[in-house]
Amino acid sequence: MRYAYETLLRLYPNSYRAIFGKEMTSVFELATGDYRRHGLATYARFLCTELLGLLTGAFAMWTDEYISRSRRRPCTPFLISLLAGAAITVVFQGGFYLGMGQHKTTHAPAPQTPQTTPDLLLPLVIAGGVLVFISVFSAAFVWNMRIIGNRTGRLKPIWMPGTAASARRRP
Amino acid sequence: MRKKLPPQTEATPLTEPVFLVLLSLVQAPRHGYALLKDTETLSDGRVRLSTGTLYGVIHRLLESKWIERFETDDTSRDKQSYRLTSRGRKFLQAELARMKQLTRAATACLKSSEA
């Protein structure tokens, strides 16, 4: 049981495990001995509570770790990548709208003939929304890859400037 | 760099595990297993903390300096004792005052509805 518990403890961040790992295992062993004497049902309930506690605890600790790391890390590059994505979208969409406007004025139908071309507003809005979504998603993806690359030090995506150097600094 | 806020402030009420752990440490410094048993006793067996929850609470309380590690004769890496700091005691008293006020208000409401 101790081995299973220590394996589950690996779900926690290293920094947390280094401080509390041994202590938690020791308390778990004492509690196991205690609850085993109270019968199988109590023991099974205790094990379920422990499993749930470990999983939720690990999730909470990783959330804390992530928040504290993102506080330490400056968010300027992320904002810059978001702004760059938004600027590219605006340029492309602006060009598209201008092109469509010119096309409409040069190929305007005669006033007598009924308008046969469908209304393009809805498809344009949908296309714009898709472009915005793709740009934001790609910026977030690139940023996450940088974080993962820095954290593990193994991915080292060479196509991102600065990532390989910062990954090399970490042990 | 932004200043890190403590996990618990005066404005936020304490969770039950945090409250029970603080209450247990008011009496005497305790180690992890003693805290586990004492919280169960204090809550009449209603609250059974898992080690994951207990050490999550201890970690947060240590970070916000409400409790501190306490060196005893049998202190080892497997068995650490913790004690309440003056800051922790102050927040516990504030929480108790808040609970008393709530109890008074609830009692008054119930009495007026019965009358």
Could you count the other beta carbons within 10 Å of the beta carbon of residue B49? 23
Q: Which of B21, B39, B55, B61 to mutate: most A Cβ within 10 Å?
A: B55
Please return the burial class of A136, using the count of CB atoms within 10 Å of its CB with bins 0-12, 13-18 and 19+.
middle
B44 touches A at CB < 8 Å: no
Write down the ipTM of this complex.
0.78
Contacts of A57 in chain B (CB under 8 A): 50, 52-53, 55-56
What order do you get walking across the sheet with B81-84 strand by strand? B30-31, B81-84, B67-70
Token pair for A93: 């969409």
- Closest chain A C-alpha to B2 CA, distance in angstroms: 7
Q: pLDDT truncated to tens, each residue of chain B (115 aa)? A: 444 444 555 557 888 999 999 999 998 899 889 999 999 999 988 888 899 999 999 999 999 899 998 877 666 656 788 999 999 999 999 999 999 999 999 999 998 887 7
Decide: pTM greater than 0.80: no
CA-to-CA distance for A78 and A85, rounded, in angstroms?
A: 11
Residue B30 in contact with residue B49, Cβ under 8 Å? Answer: no
- CB proximity list for A115: less than 8 A, separation 6 or greater: A109
Record: contact A54-B77, CB cut-off 8 A: no
